[in-house]
Amino acid sequence: MTPRTTDADELAEQPRIPLSRRRVLRAAVRLADRDGIDSLTMRQLAQELGVEAMSLYHHVANKEAVLDGVAEVVLGEVMVAVDEVEAPSPDADWRAALRARILAAREVFLGHRWAPQVLESRTTTNPLVIAYYDRVVAILRAGGFSFELAHRALHVLGSRALGFTQELFRPDGTGTPDEEAAALMEQMADRFPNIVGMLADAVHDDPDGTLGFCDDQFEFEFALDLILDGLERRRAAGS
Partner DNA sequence: ACCTGAACACCGTTCAAGT
Q: Does residue 137 touch DNA according to CB under 7 A? A: no
**Calpha distance 143→196 (Å, rounded):** 42
Query: At residue 149, what are phi and psi to the nearest 5 degrees?
Result: -70, -35
Q: Based on CB atoms, which residue is closest to DNA, 42 or 118?
A: 42
Q: Does residue 166 touch DNA according to CB under 7 A? A: no
DSSP per position, 119-168: HHH-SS--HHHHHHHHHHHHHHHHTT--HHHHHHHHHHHGGGGGT----S
Q: Based on CB atoms, which residue is closest to DNA, 16 or 191?
A: 16
**Calpha distance 28→20 (Å, rounded):** 12
> What b/e string do you get for 215-226 counting C-beta neighbours within 10 Å, with b at 16 or more?
ebeeebeeebee
Q: Which helix (H) or strand (E) holds 57?
A: none
C-alpha 193 chain-centroid distance:
32
CA R_g for the chain = 22
* Residue 203, binding choice from a copy of itself, DNA, none, Cβ under 5 to 8 Å by partner class: none
- Residues 29 to 88: which contact DNA by CB under 7 A? 40-44, 51-55, 57-59, 62-64
Q: How many CB atoms lie within 10 A of CB 179?
A: 10
Q: Does residue 182 touch a copy of itself according to CB under 8 A? A: no
- Residues 94 to 133: which contact a copy of itself by CB under 8 A? 117, 119-121, 124-125, 127, 129-131, 133
Among 21, 96, 180, 192, binds a copy of itself (CB under 8 A): 192
Q: Based on CB atoms, which residue is closest to a copy of itself, 44 or 165?
A: 165
Output the smallest distance, CB 20 to a copy of itself, in A. 24
Q: Which residues bind DNA (CB under 7 A)?
A: 16, 18-19, 40-44, 51-55, 57-59, 62-64
Q: Which residue ranges make up the site for a copy of itself (CB under 8 A)?
A: 117, 119-121, 124-125, 127, 129-131, 133-135, 137-138, 141, 146-148, 150-152, 154-156, 158-159, 162, 165-172, 188, 191-195, 197-202, 205, 214, 219-220, 222-223, 226-227, 229-231, 233-234
